[in-house]
Structure 1
Amino acid sequence: MHELFRQSLEDAINLLLESERTVFLNYEKWKVKGYNTGNSRNGYYSRTLSTEYGTLHLKIPRGRLGLFDIKTLESLQEAPAHLEKMIILMYQKGVTTRDISELIEKM
């Protein structure tokens, strides 16, 4: 059960990071709007984040020009317990990871 929460939290944060990059670039993945913009998706790099549920292996997205600055991880480092508990509670209530990502993005 503990591993299920850890994996769900990891999935939700990775989806949130990807959503943050999509908002920054101002176009969805594979959309024509992004062609020849000069700044596009440029893969990921790995980071780990220690939580009370275990170590999360995060895929941090990159932009081609290197201008993408992640705000989510700063929030996670400032108040990890609060965010983790909120995500886990939403997941337990049956909220999908995509919906959780959208809610946190709006916050």
Structure 2
Amino acid sequence: MRKLVIPLACLTLASCSDGVDPSTWTCESLVGPVIAMSKDKDLRILEITNPSTRPGSSAEQITCDGQAEWSQGEGSITYGARVSDGGRVILEYQQD
């Protein structure tokens, strides 16, 4: 299981700033930024399909499940975003 936490401010791709607004985020809107975040990792995410929101998600935290095609196979993924105590948006994902 891999888990990667990167503050959104560290991401420089234009697609990362689009749709990662805590007041409007959805599991679908996080797919692009999460894929972009994995771009330079050994285990890259190539595609996320069937995104679904876990119960309990809010404007402060959203947790999503989906299917992923990885650079080394395919399987489940858990990903999401949260607002840190300092007010920063943090994206997270892990291979299930």
State the TM-score, normalized to the length of structure 2.
0.35
User: Which of the two has greater strand per residue?
Assistant: 2
Q: Which has the higher contact order (CA 8 A, sep 6+)?
A: 1
State the TM-score, normalized to the length of structure 1.
0.33
* Larger Rg, first or second structure (1 or 2): 1
User: Which of the two has greater helix per residue?
Assistant: 1
